[in-house]
Amino acid sequence: MNFNIIIFIIIIVVIILFNSLTKNNKKIMISGFQNYHTTRWSSDLIKRFNIYQTTMNNNNNQFNLDQLQKQASPEEAEEYLKTGQWYWPDDLKELYIESIWSNPMIKIEPQYALNYAMGLYNQNAVRQLLAWNTKEGEFLLYGGDLGYTKNDIPQIHPDQNKHNTIKCSADSLNMEKTVYNGVNYKNGYTNSTTTIVNPEDIPNEMPGFSFVKGPCNPCSAFDGDFSCPFRLKTGEDISEPWKQLWNL
């Protein structure tokens, strides 16, 4: 296979894997990731990093240095300048390769995709990107389906069958439950009621949901606070990326 075609396919795989995280209105951006590092890079390191980007890297990849310094340590940046790749531990490489194998849209030799991704994403960014592609991430992004409200009124309008949901609020401060109950025939809009769900009440509202350590705010993950582990089905194993983020 032509080398340029291989590179093109790799780029498509990476874009599909990571851009799928932003298909909802609540978009997960790099700037929203947890700040793991408080040690700022030296001015000399920043200068050399910028030189590398405009020379060796031909300025192909754009990095937000302010956010990057919060995600990657000076030692990781030095490693990147020496090798052209961010340091990933073996467990992260395995997780990434598994995600490539499980991608239903495109199949490609995982090592090519791995090498390409390591040239773009530091390990902290990748761990969280992978986490949003799991069942826990899907729940936080899109909420849980609570079915539709049943009543004795004939279901003659499709909006009357809208499914009720429980999901994170737009500001990520809490969980909200939205209940749809028929249509207002005066204006054509669906009747709905949205209420805040306190953490201790989430297991009662969302079938199968349970906290690992105790009631907390699952939505805090959007602000980079990974201190609220949960399960979506009693006894079901937690996805590996979230185990790592939650230190389980």
Measured CA to CA, the distance from residue 165 to residue 167 in angstroms comes to 6
Cα dihedral: 196, 200, 201, 203 (round 10): 130
- 32: pLDDT strictly greater than 90: no
- The domain spans of the chain are 3-133, 137-245
Question: Average pLDDT of 152-168?
Answer: 68
Question: Average pLDDT of 109-125?
Answer: 85
Count Cβ atoms below 10 Å from residue 241 Cβ, excluding itself. 22
- 11: pLDDT strictly greater than 60: no
Question: Average pLDDT of 120-149?
Answer: 87
- What b/e readout covers 204-227, taking b as 16+ CB neighbours within 10 angstroms? ebbeebebeeeebbbbbbbebebe
For CA atoms 194, 199, 201, 204, the dihedral sign is positive
